Chain A
């Protein structure tokens, strides 16, 4: 098996935040902590694009490199996990992460930070699989139940894919090939114009060609 990865298709994501809700519900995430969130570029402008972002489980993870107590590790499947018993909540990983994945629950008054919390790819942490201790610290271990991350599995448009990176690549390749085969250069079968543009809508007048006689 190759490495476990997430892949989000910006052409399909409709910013429903279903993945965010599924994650929060599945792991009983406290208020103020968002292991996953949806980021929208050019929000409200025709052609806007959204993408669901969480820990990308980097092969060469910067959080792992900067952690002063070395509490991060890679699993056999390439998932980046951490030991909350060792974490000191310093926040270095938050500054190092290009995706803003590490989250810090407010543990007390005056903004005191708790131990870091992040997406576990629904793989729990360094506790006995599916134990109560694992659920309390890291959330549910769906991988040990033979399931994939809740966010990806419940994505209604299948914009967010999660699992074996080789399989995801195959799925995405097939999807893109089908898109190109069904569409024509002027009107692809997806996107803003297909959803909102009427085919009989008046077209803007074409600019006269250079050198054309009136």
Chain B
């Protein structure tokens, strides 16, 4: 009777240890997605800039500086 109980306990312990070894990582590896939508055109592509990036950047820079009141006064 004692022997049977001992074997049962050993068996349960071995099963528990083996179950632990079989544990797999639950966190999946993150993969960066890639944009799947429609392509966009740059802001200087259409009128009034018609593809002139330099002119567009100059205009934006001027507007940017208009936000600086130390330069405006």
Binding site for B on A (CB under 8 A): 1, 64-65, 67, 69-73, 75-77, 81-83, 85-86, 123, 125-130, 141, 143-148, 152-153, 158, 161-164, 167-168, 170-171, 174-175, 178
Contact = CB atoms under 8 A, between A and B. Distances in A.
A167 B35 CA distance: 29
A171 B67 contact: yes
A153 B70 contact: no
Contacts of B56: 146
A146 B37 contact: no
Interface centre among A67, A70, A144, A152 (most CB of B within 10 A): A144
B65 A82 contact: no
A97 B51 CA distance: 34
A15 B51 CA distance: 39
B49 A146 contact: yes
Contacts of B66: 153
B70 A65 contact: no
A73 B40 contact: yes
Contact of B38 (A65, A67, A85, A145): A85
B20 interface: no
B3 to A, nearest CB: 58
A85 B35 CA distance: 13
A162 B35 CA distance: 26
Interface in B35-69: 35-49, 56-57, 59-61, 63-69
18 contacts: A70-B36, A73-B40, A75-B40, A75-B43, A83-B38, A141-B43, A143-B60, A146-B49, A146-B63, A147-B63, A148-B64, A152-B67, A167-B61, A168-B64, A168-B67, A171-B64, A174-B68, A175-B70
A145 B37 contact: no
Contacts of B60: 1, 143, 146, 148, 163-164
B37 A126 contact: yes
Contact of B33 (A67, A76, A145, A152): A67
Nearest to A166: B64
B48 A73 contact: no
Given A129-B46, A158-B67, A174-B68, A71 B36 contact: yes
